[in-house]
Amino acid sequence: MNNNPIGLYDSGFGGLSVWRELRRALLNESLIYLGDGKHCPYGSLDEQTIKEYATQSVQLLIDRGCKLVVVACNTATAAAISHLRATFPQIPIVGLEPAIKPACMSTRSGVVGVIATERSLKGEKFLSTLSRYGEGVKVVKAVGEGFVEAVEANMEESPSTEQKVRDVVEPIIAAGADIIVLGCTHYPFLRGVIERVIGKRDVRVIDSGEAVEKRVESLLDEYNLRAAEDNIPQMEFLTFADDDYRERLRLKAYDKE
Ligand code: DGL
pLDDT in tens, 20-75: 999 999 999 999 999 999 999 999 899 999 999 999 999 999 999 999 999 999 99
Give the tens place of pLDDT for each residue, 220-229: 999 999 999 9
Burial string for 183-195 (b: 16+ CB within 10 Å, else e) reads: bbbbbbbbeebbe
40, 66, 73, 104: the active-site residue:
73
**pTM (2 decimals)?**
0.96
Give me ligand 1 centre to Cα 231, in Å: 32
The helix/strand/coil state of 186 is coil
104 is catalytic: no
Q: What is the mean pLDDT of the chain?
A: 96
Q: Which of the following CATH numbers is that of domain 6-96+209-254: 3.90.950.10, 3.100.10.20, 3.40.50.460, 3.40.50.1860?
A: 3.40.50.1860
Q: What is the pLDDT of residue 134?
A: 82
User: Is pLDDT of 257 > 70?
Assistant: no
The model's pLDDT over 122-151, given as tens digits with 9 standing for 90+, comes to 888 888 888 888 889 999 999 999 999 999
Helices (H), the chain: 16-25, 47-63, 74-87, 100-106, 118-122, 124-133, 147-152, 159-174, 191-198, 209-222, 243-254
Residue 137: HSE in the Cβ half-sphere, 13 Å Cα cutoff: 28
Q: Across residues 148-174, what is the average pLDDT?
A: 97
* Percentage, residues of the chain above pLDDT 90: 91
**CA dihedral for 68, 5, 10, 216, sign (positive or negative):** positive
Positions of CATH 3.40.50.1860 in the chain: 6-96+209-254, 100-206
At the topology level, CATH places domain 100-206 in: Rossmann fold (3.40.50)
pLDDT computed for residue 256 by the predictor:
72
Atom 2 (ligand 1): residue with closest C-alpha?
A: 73
CA–centroid distance, 72 to ligand 1, in Å, is 9
